A = this chain, B = another copy of it.
Amino acid sequence: MAKRKQLRTDISWSTEESITVQGLDLCKDIMGKVSLGDMAFLELTGRLPDERESRLFNAMAVILVEHGMTPSAIVTRMTLCGAPEAMQAAVAAGLCGLGSVFVGSMENAARMLQEGLPDPASPGDIGALAARIVDAHVAGKRTVPGIGHHIHKPQDPRAPRLFEIARENGFDGPYVALMNAVAEAAGKRLGKNLPVNATGAIAAVASELAIPWRVVRGIGVMSRAIGLVAHVLEELRNPMARDIKAWVEEEATAHARTADGGAGV
């Protein structure tokens, strides 16, 4: 065989007596001491959070667990109805849709902030930076991510609450300021009220926590997996998948059953 690099993982390994995860002993250092949310922070960053980081990270993560009858929740339920013996595949199917449209806007907002402000220690003129960012998006005909919401009016309530928690824990820094400045600049430029939404607030807070933008989608994926298990449980107790299917089929093929319609006639 051609020479190849030795495979190597530094995440976790087992011996007969112990399991090591991210440099810690699972039984002695993690179990009973580290909560699931802090374990997620550990897995994402390689170190345990301090108390303030933990409060902010957990507040951000819980937002993403659940948002009701999302496309992902519908997918998980429809999949379960055909394969109830494979709950894990129903959750997996639901996660497949967390792409550029939903979770992607969070990722794009985090990228916009982190590329706009690579060194948060010297933020410079935040207002001018925000204006340049909005100008570049408008010139490139790209949507400014992280602002506005089609349901929540006048404002997505999760954003001010998350910023409040950031402030209480000392993370009210330049990325939060930049996200707010971008929203203001975009609102002026486009002549409407476009406050920061949940994805924008999460992007700002993740940036304050020094979580790279490439990782931000992962927070959505891990959190939503928890929510999709809840939809599995409700679907088992009070199913709706077959009724959704019956309704969609009925309406989408109605044209084929009219007097003069349909190739089947």
| A residues adjacent to B (C-beta < 8 A) | 1-2, 4-28, 30-32, 34-40, 43-44, 54-55, 58-59, 61-63, 65-72, 74-75, 78-103, 151-153, 157-158, 161-162, 164-165, 168, 214-215, 217-223, 225-227, 229-234, 236, 238, 240-241, 243-257, 262-264
Q: How far is the CA of A27 from the CA of B198 in the complex (A)?
A: 11
Query: Taking chain A's interface residues, is the majority helix, strand, or loop, or is none over half, making it mixed?
Result: helix
Nearest residue (CB) in B for A28 is B161
- With both chains docked as a complex, state the minimum distance between the C-beta of A145 and any C-beta of chain B, in angstroms: 15
A95 touches B31 (CB 8 A): no
Distance (whole angstroms) from the CB of A198 to the closest CB of chain B = 9
CB atoms of A96 and B83 under 8 A apart? yes
Closest 9 CB pairs of A and B: A83-B99, A36-B37, A82-B97, A225-B225, A13-B253, A43-B230, A218-B229, A93-B93, A23-B263
Residues of B contacting A62 with CB < 8 Å?
26, 30-31, 34-36, 39
